[in-house]
Amino acid sequence: MHPVTFFVPSFMKAINDNTEDSLRSIISQPSPGVLTFEMLQPRFCELLVAEVENFEAWVNDTKFRIMRPNTMNKYGAVLDDFGLETMLDKLMDGFIRPISKVFFPDVGGATLDSHHGFVVEYGKDWDVDLGFHVDDSEVTLNVCLGKQFSGGELFFRGTRCDKHVNTGSQPEEIFDYSHIPGRAVLHLGRHRHGARATTSGHRINLLLWCRSLQRDEEISKRFLELVWRVLTREERKATGIHCCY
């Protein structure tokens, strides 16, 4: 399948033009750090939903035990496990990294190099809501695939470091977003958020938690260098690590 069968024309054009202006022209930022844009074709959303439903039916029939997306969801499936890993690699490399490079340069947006991709399912017979949390990602892509539902709004409460993750929010950090099928939301993993109850129907969203292992390694290296520098000569010796410091 060709990208034009997945993506809406405005999104394809902005990515192909590959300039900061072209990306800014399709992206709205209704609250600081929450980006939204039209992304997937309705037909592609339907195909992906059908694929997820087939997979769920097969899991039910065979009683096969599958990995659920994360510790917070009882329903949904990890997409990397059913053959979509290559497609998700391309989605991150060709589409999400160029956007993150412009909007999230300070958290490794330009060096996103690994991901965890999954679908979540909400409604009366699935998960109902999702509590306040941060994601295990540098940048998260969340696209609504359908089907028909009410409720399920994402609520945002501002970005914090690990130490301050449970502190209060400023009024300007409080923002609710209503999902629209085909439309994407992109935010930092550490932007605190949750999803309100899906009160009727069936909501299915595609999530791609994008990470930068390169950035993690750079931070660990800088931290170790700093620790090394503050150790006394004796303490350095005691580590048994020999170097020419």
Ligand X SMILES: O=C(O)CCC(=O)C(=O)O
- Distance of alpha carbon 160 from alpha carbon 169, whole angstroms: 10
Considering only 36, 100, 111, 142, the residue that binds ligand X (CB under 6 A) is: 142
- Distance of alpha carbon 202 from alpha carbon 117, whole angstroms: 20
Backbone conformation region of residue 201, classed left if phi is above 0, alpha if psi is from -120 to 50, else beta? left
Q: Phi and psi for 110 in degrees, rounded to 5?
A: -80, -10
Nearest approach in angstroms of CB 132 to Fe ion is 10
Show contacts with ligand X in window 207-226 (CB under 6 A): 207
| 121 is an interface residue for Fe ion by CB under 5 A | no
| 135 is an interface residue for Fe ion by CB under 5 A | yes
Nearest approach in angstroms of CB 140 to Fe ion is 6
Which pair of tokens denotes residue 171? 């009024």
Binds 141: which of Fe ion, ligand X, none (CB < 5-8 Å by kind): none
Considering only 135, 139, 146, 156, the residue that binds ligand X (CB under 6 A) is: 135
Is the Cβ of residue 127 or residue 135 nearer to Fe ion in the bound state? 135
Is the Cβ of residue 121 or residue 135 nearer to Fe ion in the bound state? 135
Stretch that binds Fe ion, among 132-140, 146-154, 162-170, 231-239 (CB under 5 A): 132-140
Considering only 23, 35, 49, 154, the residue that binds ligand X (CB under 6 A) is: 154
Show contacts with ligand X in window 175-194 (CB under 6 A): 193
- Distance of alpha carbon 125 from alpha carbon 188, whole angstroms: 30
Binds 39: which of ligand X, Fe ion, none (CB < 5-8 Å by kind): none
**CB-based contact 73:39 (threshold 8 Å):** no
Is the Cβ of residue 97 or residue 193 nearer to ligand X in the bound state? 193
Binds 187: which of Fe ion, ligand X, none (CB < 5-8 Å by kind): none
| 120 is an interface residue for ligand X by CB under 6 A | yes
| 121 is an interface residue for ligand X by CB under 6 A | no
Is the Cβ of residue 46 or residue 173 nearer to Fe ion in the bound state? 173
Show contacts with ligand X in window 4-33 (CB under 6 A): none
Q: List interacting residues with ligand X (CB under 6 A).
A: 120, 130, 135, 142, 154, 193, 195, 205, 207
